[in-house]
Amino acid sequence: MKVIDEKAFSETFQYFDKGIVLEIIDIFIQEHPARIESIRSSIANRDFTKLKFDAHSMKGVIANFFAATPQNFAKELETKGTNMDDTNLELLFDQLEASTHELVEDLNEMKIRFAE
């Protein structure tokens, strides 16, 4: 299942230098494991301040790729951090992790197409 709105992505990045777009994609892919682990740790430690920050950061980065599903999960986790609400944190995290994994797969495909 695609999580990227490919039309919006292509329309936005069509005038960008391909090297810059590929670099933006690569940075996200490289930073993804550490970002996910940081959110996991914040949840495990019930560190709501860090959760709010990490989820907000993840939400912002995902916005670059027009991927509403993982962006919404990050937003929900950010809200949970803001409200110090620990209900369903693990479920939301699992959904974020799965959807950002799909995002990484989509981005790897986009890299191939964008590099052509």
Does the structure show a pLDDT above 70 at 11? yes
State the Cα angle at 82 between 78 and 87, rounded to 5°. Answer: 75
- Look at residue 10 and tell me if it is in a domain: no
The percentage of residues in the chain with a pLDDT greater than 70, rounded to a whole number, is 98
Q: Could you give the CA distance from residue 71 to residue 60 in angstroms, rounded to a whole number?
A: 8
- Look at residue 90 and tell me if it is in a domain: yes
95 vs 17: which has the higher pLDDT: 95
For residues 66 and 8, is the Cβ–Cβ distance under 8 A?
yes
- Token readout for 100 is 């950002």
- Which residue is listed with tokens 């709501």? 48
pLDDT in tens, 55-102: 999 999 999 999 999 999 999 999 999 999 999 999 999 999 999 999
Point out the least confidently predicted range of 35-39, 99-103, 107-111: 107-111
Q: Could you give the CA distance from residue 9 to residue 110 in angstroms, rounded to a whole number?
A: 10
Which residue range(s) make up the domain with 76? 18-30+48-115
- Token readout for 81 is 């951090």
- Look at residue 43 and tell me if it is in a domain: no
pLDDT tier for residue 1 given thresholds of 50, 70 and 90? low
22 membership: H or E segment, kind and range? helix 18-44
Helix %, strand %, coil % of the chain (to 5)? 80, 0, 20
- Look at residue 4 and tell me if it is in a domain: no
Residue of 61, 43, 63, 65 whose CA lies nearest to 52: 43
Model pTM above 0.75: yes
- Look at residue 102 and tell me if it is in a domain: yes
Looking at residue 69, its pLDDT comes to: 96
When the pLDDT of each residue in the chain is averaged and rounded to a whole number, the result is 94
- Look at residue 9 and tell me if it is in a domain: no
